[in-house]
Structure 1
Amino acid sequence: MFNPFKRRTFLQAVVAVAATTTFGCSDDAETPEDSAGSPYFPQSLASGDPRPDSVVLWVRVEDAARAGDDLRLRLEVSPSEDFKTLVLDKTDLMARAEHDHAVKVKVTGLSARTTYYYRFSYEKDGQRHTTRVGRTRTAPAATDDVPVKFVFASCQDFIGRYYNAWQRLVQLDADLDFIVFLGDYVYETTGDTSFQSDGSGRSVRFSAPEEALPQGTGLTAFLAANSVSNYRDLYKNVRTDKQLQAVHERYPFIIVWDDHEFSDDCWQDVATYEDGKRDETQLQRKLNAEQAFLEYIPLDTAQASEGVIDVAQEPRFPNARIYRDFEYGRHLKLLVTDYRSYRPDHLIPEDAYPGTVALEHTLLSMALQTQPEAVKAAFQTDTFAYVDIDDAAYATQKQVLQGVYLSQAKAAGLTDAEAAQKAAQWVKGPVALYYVNQVLAAVNRALVIKPTADMPHGLAYAHMGKASLFNIQGSRYVVVKDTFDLFAAVKYQQTAGKSEDVFGPAQEKWFQETLTTAKNTWKMVVSSTSLSALIWDFRQQADISDPTLRQRFYFSVDQWDGFPTQKKVMLNTLKAQKVENALFISGDIHASFASVEEGVPTLTAPGITSGSIKSLASLALIGAGYATGAPVYQHAVTEMEKTLMASNPGLRFADADSHGFVMMEVKADETLATFHLIPAAEVAKDYSKRADSELEAKFTSRTFRVKNSDIQPA
């Protein structure tokens, strides 16, 4: 029987020999080493923001016995996988407790378009514990005439879902230069039953649930991240996934945030859970979210010269700057934009009173001057008539309308005082008969206000699809396109563009200058949200009998469809300035699209795991009271791809119910985009425990050629 002490000594000697053989003549080569990946590095490692001479490397170390201490690490970087030659051997790297022992290091002085290998190690009680070996690659030099190959992807909800798409990418073992991740790297909620389920065992539990924001009630109650600890828990859990780890270990990432890194459908530091019932400006929560993002994501927002990037010094809201650009040889300039940090609120307030006239007669008349005669005639019908409800002649009607509003507001969860304040704010002034007469008729038909020939005509929120208080429908989703576009154009003119100022002045200046001065063959713009117009056109659907539905609708105005004027201005400016080979790549909407918008090609990646747009649309319509057999459900959901393609002539490809990613091959004369797709039904299955052939059989691919400002099947 072995003496335990002697057995330990014997094993140490064996490992020491292996270490010497593997890692060459480093100073502590005789130190025992865990080369299979140490438990002290539960999130493995990652790299990001590759440039011709630098890259950012990331790791997090975890030692429960020293949770409050700063921990010393070693970083080795080598051009060879055997680490016989080191270009960096940093032995004094400190993982600070104040940053959850996460550390990112900017390594400089590297050679262009070169593969490097790296590893971190942590020594405890004389034992050296080492990460798995990471691989990264620098960008080509600006003058290099080389093709570029990369993947872009988005939206990887962890709860109840498996990263089969990442597993497939690892299977392909593609020779990629980098991966672009377009946002929603984490989801801030745990157990939101409207789209999340932990039935498969994939869940996130906050270590400090008392610091989180409670949302919902009863069976629909869930928590939303609020504190720094909460947000860190999201990243810690997601990054324990072996498939995601494998992709990070293999390729550098270029990452931008969207909304869920902070809060669903957010704008600046404002959340939208309450749908307008209360003010949700949450500055500290926004700063907490940014801190965790900057700690866990390998990017360099401060453009550090070299060495450890001090997260505490990186700019934060309202001065955060994660928009940046990358150059990949002669053929690719990549502009990474920030859609969330500076954008204004959604144009239709969630708490808007449907009857409120948003464009009164004078403004509407001016807006209609350039419209076709048929449009002008439509606005002359009684549907658009309105009255001033503050007129003494309508005192009884106003009292009834305010009473109904109070009742509805309290049913939505407002206190008496909050409901009274909202009623006073909204139920006043010009109101559309189209809406208020429906309310009045439900109470007492004798109160209905009859339209007269001399009544003014205007555009109310109800005409844009707003049918109820405190609701995403008619404000952020399912908005009547034509009336919304008209309203948006007037607001844009009234505010000198501020109503749709998506990028903010500084980012807009950078965007324009970078695009117009770039000499690279391709100018690709990374946008977290899709530019493909997602329209349901029901105007010619004879089987839809409800005239209020026989219109064109935007599915989501949280994305670029919500800023139609600025979108058109931006895309037409590119053409006017003769920016050749511009291409937008985007995500967020959990579907695959290829389209040409205003003459500019745009590609949208599906979600890695997040609920498909088809499933979300299904929930929305069922929630609105439509049966799955109803004609509107059939056109909007069952035949969604067909409806979208028919409604947007620029759409070349639509898949509304698959997960996956898009692989790009950038060449001097064309770009090839290949969608790698797996059906949504497979996302709850863990393919990591099955044969590779099973997962491979589930995937299909579609390749498109981008050339001469068009997209066509390859």
Structure 2
Amino acid sequence: MSLPLHRRTLLKCILAVAASAPFGCSDNSTDPPPEENRSFFPQSVASGDPRPDSVVLWTRAVDPDNAGATLTLSLQVAQDAGFQNLVLALDGLTPSAEHDSILKVKVTGLAPRTDYYYRFLVVQGSGTVSSPTGRTRTAPVASSVDPVRFAVANCQDFAGRYYNAWQRMVQLDEDLDFVLFHGDYIYEIPGSVPTGLEGRAVTFSDPGSTLPVTLLGRSLQAANSLSNYRDLYRRYRSDAFLQQAHERYPFIVTWDDHEYSDDCWGDHATYTDGRLNEEYLERRRNAELAYFEYMPLDVPPGADAGPIDVGAAPRFPDTRIWRDFEFGRTLKLNVLDYRTKRPSHLIPGDGYPGTVVMDAAALQQVGATADFATDVFAYVNIDDPQYGSQKSALRDAYQVLAIAQGLGLADASARAAQKVQGNLAVTYVNEVLGPLGQPTIDPAGKPRGLAWIHLGKRTLFSRVGSRYIVIQPTFDVYAAWCYATTQKSCQDALGAEQEASLRQSVTSPNTWHMVASSVSLTRMIWDLSGKADITDVSLRNRYYFDVDQWDGFPTKKRELLEDLRTLAGGNVLFLCGDIHASFASVEEGVPILTAPAISSSTVLSEAAEAVSGAGFPSGSPVYRYTVTLQEQTLRESNPGIAFVNADANGYTVVEARPDEALATFQLIPSDQVTVNYADQPEALAPHFTRRAFVIRQGTITETTPP
């Protein structure tokens, strides 16, 4: 697509000078220079998806005095901040009223590894006003062996917290090729963190179109309509430091769950842990459209030069945002989508704790019969007539518990009939029957198997024991069996096409193959199995803390890491986020870096809330090992962890070099996230510390920060 020059320079240049030329077109017009006016561009400007010859430029333009007015913009791209050497001047651009006054333009024909400056202009009265000036950079030429340097960021909750990490990045003004942001750019429930902080509230303009949810006894509103999701992006992008980061660097982005719904899979939400059907197709598509509108990514992929038709991007279930980027021979970056195609969590939120999911034959099939020979794993077929009274009592108990957790009588009765049948674990059955005064069942001589309770699921509808804090040894056995008996589909987190593309990509001759995963691959285990001071022996287990991330697909994770390590000749590195903690670890011979959250509550504070809420006070051994000594517990439970910080915010800078990679964590204590440093910037730097690591051929070694 041909892009015409600005009308004032049209007669001064015969052709639009390609950015590969040594000089661009000069605009020597005597017209007064445009004045920057952010009120016309309330979310400023942004750029993204840099290629050697192209980049996507973004803005949102509105008339502050007439919200319904249609503006006509011009775009200028230059090799200098004064816009004397234009390489592009494009007129007649109209922000899309259908898409919240968004304008995205793909600019092609650019020179590799070159800084460009850009701005959007609008004629207003007798003058011209300008957006803030943005700076972007293209990727290097294919043959380049120069180092590639970029920041890794994620998880930037806005409500009740300040963007001190973005402020620090802007202060340092580091020489970065791009910013990799891999997930939780927004949070769909703005009230989940109470806030009294000035300027950090988030509200919906149309609260009547939200999705009512109840979390931890609080009635909240989750984004649901397209209007709701747009409200979130507008508010988040009102932050001055986030704007400045976008103005300085191109972003490469992917999403995680909160861009749609917490712990989602496909178009399924998980707020009610299976009490209700939470399949929301329209909501998912609304979330995706707002994302495509506000993110400077090249979607639909392969678009021609010029304005991007956001509405043409395929949406769920046909969404495709996974893609790869080359930065010379030094770096091949694969950006994954973990949420769109992944299956449900292996343990359902509404799983009946007593339901046997691996019977004696299944245990024999995987060679695990001897591992589960004790009475704890005994089960019976509750439909056997001899257990008629126990079955009736169990159904009555289920109904009472389900009603207490929010189900109506009819639904609770139907669920009781559906769930309380077939093979049930004697351990759970007797736990229910005993307090009811019903005769319990003798486990002696009964077959052995694994039920949901043996994996940690103890209540009817709960994320604990299904998505969080599951028993690792039994979970791994079940996961491996499920993987084998479903032809791998139960752990197919990426989908066949994306996984095949990833495997093919890492065979390229690039020195480094880095993979951006929105969720972490570091094994997060709490090993309480040998803690004698935990008096309740049933709690002495090894637990996965979070199986919403890759720990929830352990068989697939192990297979994928081993295969990628081999295919890439050892030079593969995963870059992760989501968990609100910093990690450097080696898993199956593959280095994993997990960046801290920009501003979201840290995993230490979240664990403290969860553990105390489960009835373990701060002085208890369980609290001590999982909260007070959490970092020590994680390191002891996973020898591959070289570094962990569970209570700091910040970001990570990665430099890919021909012979090694360097990762530097920029960290600020989590208690500083509620302190506003906008008016005291000199006070911010002393709160940051740095930890640096060298990555070579499957190893991570700490080094002195640069």
Q: For this structure pair, what is the TM-score category when the shorter chain's length is used for normalisation?
A: over 0.9
Among 642, 660, 664, the residue aligned to 2:650:
660
Q: What whole-Å deviation, never above 9, does each CA across 1:76-106 have from its counterpart, x for those lacking one?
A: 0000111011111111111010000011110
> Does 2:59 align with 1:59?
yes
Contact 2:330–2:658, Cα closer than 8 Å, also in 1? yes
Q: Distance in 1 between matches of 2:172 and 2:197?
A: 30
Contact 1:617–1:636, Cα closer than 8 Å, also in 2? yes
Contact 1:55–1:106, Cα closer than 8 Å, also in 2? yes
State the shift of 1:199 in Å. 4.3
Contact 2:650–2:665, Cα closer than 8 Å, also in 1? yes
Aligned pairs for 1:44-55 (under 5 A) are 44-55=44-55
Map of 2:702 onto structure 1: 713
Map of 2:104 onto structure 1: 104
> Does 2:393 align with 1:400?
yes
Q: Distance in 1 between matches of 2:347 and 2:645?
A: 28
Contact 1:160–1:203, Cα closer than 8 Å, also in 2? yes
Contact 1:386–1:431, Cα closer than 8 Å, also in 2? yes
Q: Distance in 2 between matches of 1:467 and 1:136?
A: 52
> Does 2:691 align with 1:702?
yes
Structure 1 segments of 4+ aligned residues over 4 angstroms from their partners: 23-29, 198-201
Quickly say closer, same or farther: Cα 1:51–1:391, change in 2 above 3 A. Answer: same
Map of 1:12 onto structure 2: none
Contact 1:522–1:580, Cα closer than 8 Å, also in 2? no
Map of 1:337 onto structure 2: 336
Among 471, 476, 483, the residue aligned to 1:480:
471
Quickly say closer, same or farther: Cα 1:27–1:291, change in 2 above 3 A. Answer: farther
Map of 2:31 onto structure 1: 30
Aligned pairs for 1:33-432 (under 5 A) are 33-35=34-36, 37-63=37-63, 65-192=65-192, 195-216=193-214, 220-302=218-300, 303-367=302-366, 369=367, 376-432=369-425
Among 538, 555, 561, the residue aligned to 1:548:
538
- SS of the residue aligned with 2:617? coil
> Does 2:596 align with 1:606?
yes
Aligned length: 679
Q: Distance in 2 between matches of 1:197 and 1:477?
A: 26
Give, as a single letter, the amino acid of the residue that structure 2 aligns with 1:504.
G
Q: Distance in 2 between matches of 1:634 and 1:217?
A: 26
- SS of the residue aligned with 1:216? strand
Q: Distance in 2 between matches of 1:89 and 1:628?
A: 62
State the shift of 1:408 in Å. 1.0
- Aligned-pair identity in percent equals 51
> Does 2:460 align with 1:462?
no
State the shift of 1:421 in Å. 2.1
Q: Distance in 1 between matches of 2:603 and 2:504?
A: 35
Q: Distance in 2 between matches of 1:26 and 1:576?
A: 54
Among 491, 509, 524, the residue aligned to 2:482:
491
State the shift of 1:30 in Å. 2.3
> Does 2:622 align with 1:632?
yes
Contact 1:55–1:107, Cα closer than 8 Å, also in 2? yes
> Does 2:440 align with 1:448?
yes
Give, as a single letter, the amino acid of the residue that structure 1 aligns with 2:699.
D
- SS of the residue aligned with 2:332? strand
Map of 2:666 onto structure 1: 676
Contact 2:506–2:567, Cα closer than 8 Å, also in 1? no
- SS of the residue aligned with 1:567? helix
Quickly say closer, same or farther: Cα 1:485–1:207, change in 2 above 3 A. Answer: same
Quickly say closer, same or farther: Cα 1:458–1:420, change in 2 above 3 A. Answer: same
Q: Distance in 1 between matches of 2:651 and 2:150?
A: 11
Contact 2:28–2:84, Cα closer than 8 Å, also in 1? no
TM-score, normalised on structure 1? 0.93
Q: Distance in 2 between matches of 1:312 and 1:490?
A: 42
Quickly say closer, same or farther: Cα 1:29–1:308, change in 2 above 3 A. Answer: farther
State the shift of 1:270 in Å. 0.4
State the shift of 1:258 in Å. 0.3
Quickly say closer, same or farther: Cα 1:406–1:117, change in 2 above 3 A. Answer: same
Contact 2:152–2:179, Cα closer than 8 Å, also in 1? yes
> Does 2:467 align with 1:438?
no
State the shift of 1:24 in Å. 10
> Does 2:528 align with 1:525?
no
Two-structure CA RMSD over aligned residues (Å): 1.6
State the shift of 1:272 in Å. 0.5
- SS of the residue aligned with 2:518? strand
Contact 1:382–1:451, Cα closer than 8 Å, also in 2? yes
State the shift of 1:420 in Å. 1.6
Q: Distance in 1 between matches of 2:327 and 2:25?
A: 33
Contact 2:27–2:83, Cα closer than 8 Å, also in 1? no
State the shift of 1:115 in Å. 0.3
Contact 2:184–2:259, Cα closer than 8 Å, also in 1? yes
- SS of the residue aligned with 2:565? helix
Quickly say closer, same or farther: Cα 1:32–1:523, change in 2 above 3 A. Answer: closer
Contact 1:216–1:222, Cα closer than 8 Å, also in 2? yes
Map of 1:5 onto structure 2: none
Q: Distance in 2 between matches of 1:548 and 1:28?
A: 80
Q: Distance in 2 between matches of 1:504 and 1:421?
A: 34
Give, as a single letter, the amino acid of the residue that structure 2 aligns with 1:40.
F
State the shift of 1:243 in Å. 0.6
TM-score, normalised on structure 2? 0.94
Contact 1:67–1:97, Cα closer than 8 Å, also in 2? no
Contact 1:191–1:198, Cα closer than 8 Å, also in 2? no
State the shift of 1:27 in Å. 8.8
Q: What whole-Å deviation, never above 9, does each CA across 1:209-233 have from its counterpart, x for those lacking one?
A: 1010111289711110000000000
Q: Distance in 2 between matches of 1:206 and 1:594?
A: 38
Map of 1:11 onto structure 2: none
Quickly say closer, same or farther: Cα 1:512–1:24, change in 2 above 3 A. Answer: closer
Q: Distance in 2 between matches of 1:618 and 1:388?
A: 39
Give, as a single letter, the amino acid of the residue that structure 2 aligns with 1:424.
A
Q: Distance in 2 between matches of 1:638 and 1:317?
A: 42
Give, as a single letter, the amino acid of the residue that structure 1 aligns with 2:374.
T
Map of 1:511 onto structure 2: 502
Stretches of structure 1 that go unaligned for 5 or more consecutive residues are 1-22
Q: What whole-Å deviation, never above 9, does each CA across 1:287-307 have from its counterpart, x for those lacking one?
A: 000000000000012221211
State the shift of 1:548 in Å. 1.6
Q: What whole-Å deviation, never above 9, does each CA across 1:604-628 have from its counterpart, x for those lacking one?
A: 0010001100011111111111101
Contact 1:200–1:684, Cα closer than 8 Å, also in 2? no
Stretches of structure 2 that go unaligned for 5 or more consecutive residues are 1-23
Map of 1:3 onto structure 2: none
Give, as a single letter, the amino acid of the residue that structure 2 aligns with 1:497.
K
Q: Distance in 2 between matches of 1:196 and 1:336?
A: 33
Give, as a single letter, the amino acid of the residue that structure 1 aligns with 2:408.
T
* Larger CA deviation: 158-167 vs 69-78: 69-78
